[in-house]
Amino acid sequence: MADENLSDNEREELLRQWWRDNWAWIVGGVILGVGLLIGWNYWGSHKQRQAESAGQLYSDIEAAVAAGDATKAQEKLDALIGDFDSSAYAQQGRLLLAKSHVEAAKFAEAESLLRTVVDKSKDEELGAVAKLRLARLLIQDGKHDDAVKLLEPLTAGAFGAQAREIRGDALFAKGDAEGARAEYAAALAEADVQIDRQIVELKLQDVGGVVPASGAVQGTL
């Protein structure tokens, strides 16, 4: 090779020339890499601090609700929403305060919070929980068709059995025994369910359905 015929001085001069031609790129690359590393570490620390702050505010809401201090709970929720409205903690805070409102018979306030979770939650599970709870409030308010429509997207998912049961409650409340019977039967037919089977079986029997001893469900007389 040509380089093998060069003297040590010539090789050294070539190395110096290469450095003169490329030093700016090399130094710039090192600086950029260090800057990216520092920026990434800062961003990670920033996100961690945000998560900790949001978690603390949620804990404050829990404590206020447990103490029966609705005013303080609302203040902490407002602070959580103000700084971290896109976080799951904000949606969990709304769900928690909505439950507290229901227990205090403040149904309008609870409905407003639940609708916000339904509309804003990026977490599908939290959104589904909000729909189930909102549907129960709608039934209580006589909005049976709205409850049935709200839960339609959930009937084929992990919350299918619960959605079916609540839809059955809505249909029963509006006098549609046949529709309620079909929904209760569908709820009991789910393989992996999060419902009280004995209660749903009683509901099914109340609307004319039959639950054989074998556990198979007959939705009609």
Q: What is the pLDDT of residues 90-125, one digit of tens each?
A: 999 999 999 999 999 999 999 999 999 999 888 899
Quickly tell me which residue has 């619960």 as its tokens: 162
The first and second tokens of residue 139, run together, are 């039934």
pLDDT at 9 over 90: no
Between CA 124 and CA 118 the distance in angstroms is: 9
pLDDT at 174 over 80: yes
pLDDT at 54 over 90: no
Res 19: pLDDT: 65
Mean pLDDT of 29-45: 61
- Per domain, the residue ranges of the chain are 29-64+71-122, 149-209
Res 29: pLDDT: 67
Does residue 18 or residue 55 have the better pLDDT?
Answer: 55
The gap between the terminal CA atoms of the chain, to the nearest Å, is: 95
Between CA 198 and CA 122 the distance in angstroms is: 34
Question: 176 in helix, strand or coil?
Answer: coil
